[in-house]
A and B are shown apart, each in its own frame.
Chain A
Amino acid sequence: MLVAGWSLSLQTHCKGFLKWHKFMASKTPISRSIAVESTPSAIIRVCKHILAELEANNFSRDDIFAVHLALEEALINAVEHGNKADADKEVKINYLVDPDKVEISVTDNGNGFNPNIVPDPRYGENLYKTGGRGLFLIRSYMDVVEFNERGNRMRIVRYKKKPHASG
């Protein structure tokens, strides 16, 4: 059952664990895998879950906003374009949160796409189109954006923004 993986990973995230985790955040890398059904509510749950990990690891508001935006877009692409909104098809999410960065990969069951031929939404008639901004936003807000050869897995990384060095 697709939701089983999700329930299992949630079991380790009771409130007490999160409080403890907040205290230990800078010393504890977290690496997890989740599989969810292709539905909007599953996307929202995954986002909330990963953003809570970032908050517990003292990522800034800017970092959390950026990851939220990119992750939401990546998951929407996986569900709508990759899995054609078929709730029975799963989206796999692997993520790693460590003191310096968050790394997430999102895999769908689709045939993949060529990210190099997606038009730039900022110019010409594309600016007036109602869609086509998701990948551009992901690239704008993440430090690393990579795809597998098939184009059905996206790996995104955001490094925690450090305070400006003095002197």
Chain B
Amino acid sequence: MAPIKPRISVEYAGNATIITFTDEKILEEKDIQALQESIMSVVEQSERINMILDFRNVRFLSSSVLGLLIRISKKIYECDGKLRLCNIDPKIYEVFKITRLTKIFDIYQDIESATEGSSTAD
């Protein structure tokens, strides 16, 4: 059976749920759909989730992935949860900056600062 892509890994640190994208590029619409289903099911399993999305492996994304992130953030905020992004490659950070998505996402340099941010959040 072919491995399911794209993959995510899920870890728990304190009260934070850390989701790491394991693929370098997230391109196809069906991959984005699969990611959405996986992440939404994690969101639904917790009450007031403190989610950190770790981009350490991601080197390229398209505007469809930005749309996915907005859908995830809306879902999390609806459930009174928190969302943080971290370890974003400088070229991808530039995409967030020019689209002004840095205004709506909490972006941290690394997992340590993102985890600290989530432990100080109420």
Which residues of A come within 8 Å of B, CB atoms? Answer: 40-41, 43-44, 61-62, 65, 68-69, 72-73, 76, 121-123, 127-131, 133-134, 136-137, 140
**Residue of A68, A121, A128, A130 with most chain B CB atoms under a 10 A cut-off:** A130
Q: Are A73 and B28 in contact (CB under 8 A)?
A: no
Q: Is B71 engaged at the interface, CB distance under 8 Å to the other chain?
A: yes
Instruction: Select the stretch in B7-15, B58-66, B111-119 that faces chain A.
Output: B58-66
In angstroms, Cα B62 to Cα A65, docked, is: 11
Contact A127-B103, Cβ < 8 Å, known A76-B62, A137-B95: yes
A-B contact pairs, 11 of them (CB 8 A): A40-B29, A41-B28, A62-B91, A72-B27, A73-B62, A122-B100, A128-B70, A130-B67, A130-B70, A131-B63, A140-B98
Q: Are A130 and B62 in contact (CB under 8 A)?
A: no
Nearest neighbor of B68 in chain A, beta-carbon distance: A130
In angstroms, Cα B66 to Cα A134, docked, is: 10
Nearest neighbor of B100 in chain A, beta-carbon distance: A122
Q: Are A133 and B63 in contact (CB under 8 A)?
A: yes
Extra contacts besides A72-B27, A140-B98 (7): CB < 8 Å = A62-B91, A73-B63, A121-B99, A127-B104, A129-B70, A130-B68, A133-B66
Nearest neighbor of B71 in chain A, beta-carbon distance: A130
In angstroms, Cα B104 to Cα A123, docked, is: 12
Q: Is B30 engaged at the interface, CB distance under 8 Å to the other chain?
A: yes
**Ranked 9 nearest A-B pairs via Cβ:** A130-B67, A133-B63, A122-B100, A40-B28, A130-B70, A134-B63, A65-B91, A72-B62, A140-B98
Instruction: Please indicate the chain B residues that have their CB under 8 angstroms from the CB of A62 in the complex.
Output: 91
B47 to chain A minimum Cβ distance, whole angstroms, is 24
Instruction: Please indicate the chain A residues that have their CB under 8 angstroms from the CB of B60 in the complex.
Output: 65, 68-69
Instruction: Please indicate the chain B residues that have their CB under 8 angstroms from the CB of A130 in the complex.
Output: 67-68, 70-71
In angstroms, Cα B99 to Cα A121, docked, is: 7
Q: Are B28 and A133 in contact (CB under 8 A)?
A: no
Q: Are B30 and A69 in contact (CB under 8 A)?
A: no
**Residue of B62, B91, B100 with most chain A CB atoms under a 10 A cut-off:** B62
Instruction: Please indicate the chain B residues that have their CB under 8 angstroms from the CB of A69 in the complex.
Output: 60, 62, 95
In angstroms, Cα B75 to Cα A34, docked, is: 41
In angstroms, Cα B95 to Cα A62, docked, is: 12
Nearest neighbor of B99 in chain A, beta-carbon distance: A133
Q: Are B67 and A137 in contact (CB under 8 A)?
A: no
In angstroms, Cα B28 to Cα A72, docked, is: 10
In angstroms, Cα B66 to Cα A41, docked, is: 20
A89 to chain B minimum Cβ distance, whole angstroms, is 17
In angstroms, Cα B70 to Cα A127, docked, is: 10
